[in-house]
């Protein structure tokens, strides 16, 4: 595949105009103009020193002057236009996780576009067909780039107002930092061959033990985004036992109780309705029994809110299970940590259907592991032959989870499915978006050590 370098070098004048990155207020929502017209942003990626550990500095990389990156918002069906400016010392791209968009906007290097070099910009422009909680991140040197903080929420609002009067976005990330705030390795071969390399300091919206205020007695839409490289959070809430799940990974479900806990793997999102307690009381957001952060009820306005009705479905094509073609994808461990890893080359530890993705080979996407016919329905049988779980993610299309060997489930649409140890699951989709789409585990160091493939829709 070949590209012309459409991006234009941003000269010094350009930099001065937009404020030269860093901690500056490099955030502009140029505003929601008229309905249907679109949403325009300028988004700068630049180094930013942050204080994650008190009185210590962490040399993070940030989108729009904050970690996680600035929250982008758009309205369902509208255009989102982002002028992305790279002030990092390294090449990068932006990928829009969960958004069904044209391949040229998908941010995959050498598949969608050339990497955006330091000093360059790239204009991302696409419509957002689905309402929900999504996110954006680079697709280049992902362990380091996401690890240093290049992750941000993208919220697509429903066309019509929902029954929610209040909402909060909570991005979960566990940082690879030591007690001095310095970065630890983002990927260690020994860990990449197992559950993935986990960070040590958990944060909500970039703050350890964050406290988020919300109005007492009101029902609040809480958007939880797992933007971490590695960790599957076993989410539960203490102090709001009647909380309900309204959407998973950007797609509405029939509202149901959160129950004991929900396992939110890397890349996954969940939208909850939480009824806040009386003023002064708290709801603990927990990973298993560990508190990640706190929702604190503050004296609020108005009467106690009611549970809103379910959210409207997104316009995702319903797969025809009757005449769908079945394809099997085996996720395997091939781990030999002695190859690569220590000499700078990532080791090859994982594969799908006998093929490991080589993160340094720009031509891997020329050899897709499956070719789908445009408009046809498919059932993917996902077989995890390993003793580790893998959040399996597909670009470009939304799929429907229809069966699992581990639990009975109510079918639902998603872009990322947490495939448990030795689990077999079936997901179905209509191959309605032409292109070469990445299909990978979202544990970032699994993806960078083989657990990625391309699926082509022609
Ligand atoms: Cu979050 Cu390849 O994606
Ligand atoms: Cu994605
Ligand atoms: Cu994995």
Ligand 1 lined by 269 (C-beta under 6 Å):
no
At residue 38, the pLDDT reads 86
Give CA separation, 195 vs 186, 343, 372, 411, 412, in Å: 13, 22, 31, 27, 26
Domain ranges of the chain: 17-157, 166-298, 321-457
Determine the CATH number of domain 17-157: 2.60.40.420
DSSP string, 217-268: T-EEEEEEEE--SSPPEEEEEES-TT-EEEEETTEEEEEEE--S-EEE-TT-
Q: 1.10.10.10, 2.60.40.420, 3.40.980.10, 1.20.1600.10: which CATH number matches 166-298?
A: 2.60.40.420
Residue from 104, 100, 146 nearest 124 by CA = 104
Ligand 1 atom with the smallest distance to the CA of 135 is: 1
At residue 301, the pLDDT reads 72
Q: pLDDT tens, 288-309?
A: 999 999 999 999 776 777 899 9
Q: How confident is the model at residue 346 (pLDDT cuts 50, 70, 90)?
A: low
At residue 306, the pLDDT reads 85
- Decide if pLDDT at 365 tops 50: yes
Residue from 317, 396, 314 nearest 99 by CA = 396
Residue from 329, 421, 418, 453 nearest 382 by CA = 329
At residue 10, the pLDDT reads 40
Contact 238, 274 (CB under 8 A): no
Ligand 1 lined by 393 (C-beta under 6 Å):
yes
Q: How many Cβ atoms from other residues are within 10 Å of residue 330's Cβ? A: 15
Identical topology for domains 17-157 and 166-298: yes
Residue from 296, 292, 261, 52 nearest 170 by CA = 292
Q: What is the dihedral of CA 152, 31, 122, 47, to 10 degrees?
A: -50
> Whose Cα sits closest to atom 1 in ligand 1?
97
**What average pLDDT score do residues 117-126 get?**
98
Q: pLDDT tens, 443-455?
A: 999 999 999 999 9
| CATH architecture observed for domain 321-457 | Sandwich (2.60)
- Decide if pLDDT at 16 tops 50: no
User: Using CA of residue 289, residue 292, residue 297, residue 300, what is the dihedral sign?
Assistant: negative
Contact 369, 331 (CB under 8 A): no
- Decide if pLDDT at 27 tops 80: no
| Percentage of residues in the chain having pLDDT higher than 90 | 86
Q: pLDDT tens, 176-231?
A: 999 999 999 999 999 999 999 999 999 999 999 999 999 999 999 999 999 999 99
Residue 13 Cα to ligand 2 middle (Å) = 34
């Amino acid at each position: 595949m070949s590209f012309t370098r459409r991006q234009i070098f941003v000269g010094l004048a350009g930099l001065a105009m937009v404020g030269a990155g860093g901690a500056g207020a490099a955030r502009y929502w140029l505003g929601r103009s008229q309905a249907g017209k679109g949403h325009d942003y300028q988004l700068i990626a630049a180094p930013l020193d942050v204080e994650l550990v008190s009185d210590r500095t962490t040399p993070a990389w940030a989108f729009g002057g904050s970690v996680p990156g600035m929250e982008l918002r758009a309205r369902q069906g509208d255009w989102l236009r982002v002028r992305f400016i790279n002030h990092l010392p390294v090449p990068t791209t932006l990928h829009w996780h969960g958004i069904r968009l044209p391949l040229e906007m998908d941010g995959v290097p050498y598949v969608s576009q050339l990497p955006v070099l330091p000093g360059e910009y790239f204009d991302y422009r696409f419509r957002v067909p689905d309402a929900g909680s999504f996110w954006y991140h680079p697709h280049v040197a992902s362990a380091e780039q996401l690890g240093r903080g290049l992750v941000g929420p993208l919220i697509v609002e429903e066309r019509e107002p929902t029954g929610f009067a209040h909402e909060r976005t909570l991005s979960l990330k566990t940082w690879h930092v030591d007690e001095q705030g310095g970065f630890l390795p983002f990927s260690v071969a020994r860990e990449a061959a197992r559950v993935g390399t986990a960070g040590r300091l958990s944060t909500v919206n970039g703050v350890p033990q964050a406290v988020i205020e919300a109005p007492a007695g009101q029902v609040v839409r809480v958007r939880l985004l797992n933007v971490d490289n590695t960790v599957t959070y076993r989410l539960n809430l203490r102090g709001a036992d009647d909380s309900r799940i309204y959407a998973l990974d950007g797609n509405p479900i029939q509202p149901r109780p959160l129950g004991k806990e929900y396992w939110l793997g890397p890349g996954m999102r969940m939208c909850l309705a939480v009824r806040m307690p009386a003023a002064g009381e708290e709801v603990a957001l927990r990973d298993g029994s560990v508190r990640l952060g706190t929702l604190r009820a503050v004296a609020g306005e108005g009467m106690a809110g009611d549970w809103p009705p379910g959210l409207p479905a997104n316009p995702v094509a319903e797969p025809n299970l009757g005449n769908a073609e079945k394809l099997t994808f085996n996720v395997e461990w091939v781990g030999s940590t002695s190859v690569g890893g220590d000499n700078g080359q990532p080791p090859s530890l994982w594969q799908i259907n006998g093929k490991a993705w080589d993160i340094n080979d720009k031509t891997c996407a020329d050899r897709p592991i499956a070719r789908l016919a445009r408009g046809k329905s498919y059932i993917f049988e996902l077989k995890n032959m390993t003793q580790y779980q893998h959040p399996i993610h597909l670009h470009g299309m939304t799929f429907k989870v229809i069966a699992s060997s581990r639990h009975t489930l109510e079918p639902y649409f998603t872009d990322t499915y947490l495939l448990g140890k030795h689990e077999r699951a079936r997901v179905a989709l209509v191959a309605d978006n032409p292109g070469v789409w990445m299909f990978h585990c979202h544990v970032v160091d699994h993806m960078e050590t083989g657990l990625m493939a391309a699926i082509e829709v022609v």
